[in-house]
Amino acid sequence: MKIKLNKIFRKKKAMFLAYDQGIEHGPTDFNDKNVDPKYIINIAEKGKFTGLIFQKGIAEKYNSEIKKSKVPLIVKLNGKTNLVKGEPVSSAICSVEEAVGLGAVAVGYTIYIGSEFEEEMLSEAGEIIEEAHEKGLAVVVWIYPRGKSVKGKKKRDLMAYAARVGLEIGADIVKLHSTGVKKDVEWTVESAGKCKVVVAGGVKKNERELLKDIKEAVSVGCSGVAIGRNVWQASDPVLVSKKLRKVIWG
């Protein structure tokens, strides 16, 4: 079945609002406002994001608010807390079928390449991609090099490797952490081929620096961002969103 990327893209670019930090980091990332998914949905709508990333629980409990917002829903299928130490592993908590039932137009999955459990995640991602594609859903794969075996490796190589793994396993979009170096992003985008690349926002940083990084990334072929804390932790998230749209679509 033809994957309709345009459902989560606008003029070939993507701007996703990520909000899976509740399971990945816990509520320490939140304050009294942004702890509430409705606050996030509102930002996504006002900020004209092309996709909103939730775990299945939020997608279900706030389903009517999401539908009302008309922001396309991307359900993240796996997740883990940050309490567990050692080699990272994350298994599916939500099935593709359940995501479809929740109204998702795309699904997300994280793979920690380099982890001792890489094999498990690659294999599960393979099944998910097969099933999602059969149902016409796009798949966004978070690919993060992690674990003791990646210590000391060059960041540029790891970033390009992450992008390439996305292409090889059939991801439609790969989400990765950027080194922030233009040449690196360029090589990464080349490595990803026809698989789209979006960069993660990461920990909250200087706004100017963030926008400059994204602009540069987009200028060398990156399709956009999947950003969370830098938006919903901002004092004026809608304004930040506007600035983001400007650097992404010009």
Residues that bind its own copies (CB under 8 A): 20, 22-23, 26-28, 30, 32, 35-37, 55-58, 60-62, 79-81, 83-86, 89-95, 98, 113-116, 118-120, 122-123, 125-127, 130, 133, 145, 147, 149-150, 153, 157, 160-161, 163-171, 187, 190-191, 193-195
Of 178 and 247, the one with the shorter C-beta distance to its own copies is 178
Minimum distance from CB of 212 to its own copies (Å)? 25
Decide whether 7 or 25 has the Cβ nearer to its own copies.
Answer: 25
Which of 167/239 has CB closer to its own copies?
Answer: 167
Distance, in Å, from the CA atom of 237 to the CA atom of 249, rounded to the nearest integer, reads 18
> Is 144 one of the catalytic residues?
yes
Token pair 């969370």 in the structure block, residue: 228
Q: 133 by DSSP, 3-state: which? A: helix
Helix (H) or strand (E) holding 73: strand 73-76
Reply yes or no on whether 175 is catalytic. Answer: yes
What's the rounded Cα separation, in Å, for the pair 202 and 230? 8
Residue 86 CB, nearest approach to its own copies (Å): 7
DSSP string computed for 178-213:
--S-HHHHHHHHHHHTTSEEEEE--S---HHHHHHH
Q: Which one from 62, 109, 112, 144 is the annotated catalytic residue?
A: 144
